[in-house]
Amino acid sequence: MVLIQLLATSLGIFFLINYVAIKYNLLLDNKKSSIHKIFIDKKSNPPFIGGIFVLLSLLFFLPNIEINLKIFIFLIFMSGFLSDTQILKSANLRFIIQIVLVLFAVTILNKYVESVRLSFLDDLLKNNYFKLLFTSFCILIVINGTNFIDGLNTLVIGYYLIIFICISGFYKDNDFFLVSHQMLIFFSVILFSLLILNSLNLLYLGDSGAYLLAFFVSIILIDLSTNLRSSTPYYIANLLWYPVYENLFSIIRKIKNKKSALKPDNLHLHQLIYLKIKNKLNHNAKIINTFSGIVINIFNLGVIILATQNYTNTTYQVILLLFSVTVYNLIYIILQKTLQK
């Protein structure tokens, strides 16, 4: 009953925020050349209010989150919000702000990557300065990778919803984690309501939502890895494999093509999948967009379930990680060749 009330409340808040945004022309995607208009509909103009939705959920619906984490949740949100509102247009400046915020967040929250099960790296991680830099680097990769894959409806929200549901079992009867089992369930319900609205093309996450979700999940998973001693760090790598590899792959691809690693383009895997499905089905762009996101997340669901079933076995997790990366590369190469014809 409580979960139904939470779902109803979150939907009510959405319609209120959505009404204000549209009435006063706030946070609307007014650029004709934006990625959303290219891959959904040139007339489509839902507001970038997903981030506000996530922020309010974390600050008010989940009151037991510690105050320091709440402060950084707000600051990370603002770095994306300034981008959504076109106040902060420079990608380089935005990235510098992210670096500063993440460095302070890791230090103050005291959440570090302690081990990666590689002796030479583990030796380096004994140095506090290296540990700070390495942990911050990992979080930044997840944040920007999440922003890269936020091009299809349901993709990012669905992906992180899968993660929250799959890890929720670890939180039962454990009170030493950063968040409780109840908080995870509540937040999953809120993400589910966001997923419905996003699938209907009624809202976008925006940079604020993508940054915020990625940051929150990164901190949660670092905390999980630290406290769940029996798990292997490669389990966390499998949970986050998609945004992380998308980021690394995109950076290498752009550098190879002599382009800025921070500048967005239309050559990400999810965009190629969308174009391939659109060419095959020749259906409404909004439906194809949402369907493409669901197709990708079906694969991600399989990977995350398989990873969670055997979260203690390092060899198993490494093989699964290599499998996911190989599938990504093969699909990318095949789609790139077929779409060029």
pLDDT in tens, 135-187: 999 999 999 999 999 989 999 999 999 999 999 888 876 666 777 788 888 88
pLDDT digits over 225-241, tens only?
998 888 999 999 999 99
User: How far apart are the C-alpha atoms of 171 and 233, rounded to whole Å?
Assistant: 17
Contact 62, 187 (CB under 8 A): yes
User: How far apart are the C-alpha atoms of 340 and 330, rounded to whole Å?
Assistant: 16
Best CA proximity match to 166, nearest among 188, 149, 145 = 188
- Asked if the structure places residue 36 within a domain, the reply is no
pLDDT digits over 85-138, tens only?
888 888 889 999 999 999 999 999 999 999 998 899 999 999 999 999 999 999
How much is the pLDDT for 313?
A: 96
How much is the pLDDT for 280?
A: 87
Average pLDDT for residues 294-308, to the nearest whole number? Answer: 97
User: Does the pTM exceed 0.85?
Assistant: yes
CA angle (214, 158, 97) in 5-degree steps: 20
- Asked if the structure places residue 249 within a domain, the reply is yes
pLDDT digits over 3-36, tens only?
676 667 767 777 777 767 776 676 776 654 455 5
How much is the pLDDT for 48?
A: 87
- Which distant-in-sequence residues (6+ apart) come within 8 Å of 333 by Cβ? none
How much is the pLDDT for 270?
A: 95
pLDDT digits over 48-75, tens only?
888 998 898 888 777 678 889 999 999 9
How much is the pLDDT for 33?
A: 46
- Per-chain mean pLDDT for the chain: 88
Best CA proximity match to 339, nearest among 285, 279, 265, 249 = 279
Sequence letter at residue 188: S
- Asked if the structure places residue 74 within a domain, the reply is yes
C-alpha separations of 317 from 17, 114, 141, 142, 145 in Å: 42, 18, 20, 19, 21
Tokens of 97: 């702000």
Give the residue numbers spanning the domain of 214.
2-27+46-340
Q: How far apart are the first and last CA of the chain?
A: 54
pLDDT level of residue 286 (50, 70, 90 thresholds)? confident
- Asked if the structure places residue 301 within a domain, the reply is yes
How much is the pLDDT for 32?
A: 47
Q: What is the DSSP letter of 58?
A: I
DSSP states of 94-152 as a string? Answer: HHHHHHHHHHHHHHHHT------S-HHHHHHTTSHHHHHHHHHHHHHHHHHHHHHHTTS
How much is the pLDDT for 37?
A: 47
- Asked if the structure places residue 40 within a domain, the reply is no
What residues pair up with 317 in beta bridges, in sequence order?
Answer: none
Residue 316 region, left (φ>0) first, then alpha (ψ -120 to 50), else beta? alpha
191-195, 310-314, 318-322: lowest mean pLDDT where? 191-195
How much is the pLDDT for 88?
A: 85
In the chain, % of residues over pLDDT 90: 57
**Distance, C-alpha 14 to centroid of its chain:** 20
pLDDT digits over 181-216, tens only?
888 888 888 899 899 989 988 889 999 999 999 999
- Asked if the structure places residue 104 within a domain, the reply is yes
DSSP states of 126-140 as a string? Answer: TSHHHHHHHHHHHHH
Average pLDDT for residues 214-229, to the nearest whole number? Answer: 93
How much is the pLDDT for 113?
A: 95
The count of domains in the chain is 1
- Asked if the structure places residue 41 within a domain, the reply is no
- Asked if the structure places residue 38 within a domain, the reply is no
What dihedral angle (degrees, nearest 10) is formed by the CA atoms of 56, 58, 64, 66? -110
